[in-house]
Structure 1
Amino acid sequence: MGNICRSPTAQGVFAALVREAGLDHVIACDSAGTSHYHIGNSPDPRACRAAAKRGIEIGHLRARKAQAEDFAEFDLVLAMDRANYRNLAPLAGEGGADRLRLFLEFAPGHGENVPDPYYGGGDGFERVLDLCEAAGRGLLDHLVQTHGLTSQYTDSSTRFSSGSRK
């Protein structure tokens, strides 16, 4: 909702996967929230710490609110859960609805919603990272196949040591 927990985590994970695949020159990603609560703020410190433990830096990211223009700029706009999906749908306008999807569609078997860890403990942030890694790998595989990209990405089971949107 506020772009300080799940979305920047997903952005950081996916950007790392894209770099690892050698595709950062053709795939761009960003994150945005559906509320104005934290505009301009950095990600939650707990999200930053959890990501850093896996070698992913997200502290430089800043929260922003999603806009209708995002549906023109990006091929996909990925929602972390059904509530955010419903909030994003009016921004899609005519022709943009096909760009809106749930992030976890790219991680079959993991449900629909990335749980919001904001009011919980550190385990919630670890769970979000796990889900973002699974969905990020699925998303990258989807983009490579759909767009005929050549990737250096060879092991879809790779985890980061100690990944809604393209």
Structure 2
Amino acid sequence: MVFYFKARPEVGDYTIFMGIDKHENEDLIKYGFPEDIWFHVDKMSSAHVYVRLNKGQAIDNISEGLLEDCAQLVKANSIQGNKVNNVDVVYTPWYNLKKTASMDVGQVGFHNSKMVRTVRVEKRINEIVNRLNKTKVERKPDLKAEREAVNAAERAEKKLLMRDKVKTA
């Protein structure tokens, strides 16, 4: 199961999501999208939280409000991180996540540590966490099928572009 949350309206129409457990996180890692940004409390156990950006949007385009929503949600869903102040939340594009066979379920590393960003969360802001929790929806998506559908659509688009290129040549 995956939990879905709506970000604050003033930042745009963004969905924030997280797996219900470490096994669901494995599927989120495996079937992510290039537009997904992954969040986790640094050096502590926590939920894996993602936000899917719009096509063409990069990690540098995340607004302060959207970043705060994601960081507060990941802090609130960390047993250790929720109990202490001044925690660091790391975030990086999904495609920078590295998974090897020797890693435990739910554990990840990074291909390029220079692509990892950090934001400090001084304290839990209940108004933000409560607002997000009011939008929480639980679903059982077929993550593999969603990813395959996007891949097929991208292949079809490239095929059309190539046909058009051949016709105009």
TM-score (norm 1): 0.26
TM-score (norm 2): 0.25
More strand by share: 2
Structure showing greater relative contact order (alpha-carbon pairs closer than 8 Å, 6 or more residues apart): 1
